[in-house]
Amino acid sequence: MFICSAKKRCCRPVGVKVGVLALQGDVAEHILAFREALADRPGSTVVPVRHVEDLVGLDGLAIPGGESTTISRLMGKNGLYEPLTGFEGGIFATCAGMVLVADRVDDPRVRSLGLISMHVARNAFGPQINSRETLLNIAGLADPFRAVFIRAPVVTEVGPGVEVLARIPEGIVAVRSGRHMAFAFHPELGGDFRLHRMFLEGLGV
């Protein structure tokens, strides 16, 4: 979306408002990453989200990595499940966030949001000692992305309308569904914000 002035005969992008679910996990890293990705969009803001009223006016929302069972419990405690399932903006989900946006999860302790048609295996990489970095080819990016996997999940199956963006031998690690994107790794780490910009472009604002 653009605001145009006939007198000035120029257009400028409208500011974007992105929230970061701030219940548990690497919240600060997501806030900094989106601020960097929005540096060329004057008037844009990135805000923490803890309560239902914090969702008002958001164009997009990041659900960060952390402990998916803990985030799930805190979403229920804060009354966020129904508002999030009806959220009209895009969602940028990483690691635990990927687990939470799925419609099928292999752990009954996690109450997922069902926003993306996919089956996710939680902690598919095993203990944190098995965490790793790798150069990953991702659809839509010209050059490989250095992906940081930390006790990561993987997607074992996707449903109709879900685009697979990247996979590794363990399974699918990046998907897009409409305005939503989900990653098994942590794109907020490492200073490469191409995936954040891809997400923002998909919001249509």
What are the catalytic residues?
Answer: 95, 186, 188
> CA 173 to CA 164: how far, in whole Å?
8
Q: And the tokens for 82? A: 């129904």
Measured CA to CA in angstroms, residue 10 lies from 4, 15, 43, 192 at distances of 6, 16, 17, 30
CA atoms within 13 A on the CB side of 149: 26
> CA 139 to CA 50: how far, in whole Å?
32
Q: How many CB atoms lie within 10 A of CB 76?
A: 11
Question: Helix crossing, 194-202 with 27-37: angle to 10°?
Answer: 70
> CA 68 to CA 72: how far, in whole Å?
6
Q: Please list, in sequence order, all residues whose beta carbon lies within 8 angstroms of the beta carbon of residue 80, skipping any fewer than 6 positions away.
A: 21, 51, 52
Instruction: Report DSSP state, residue 30.
Output: H
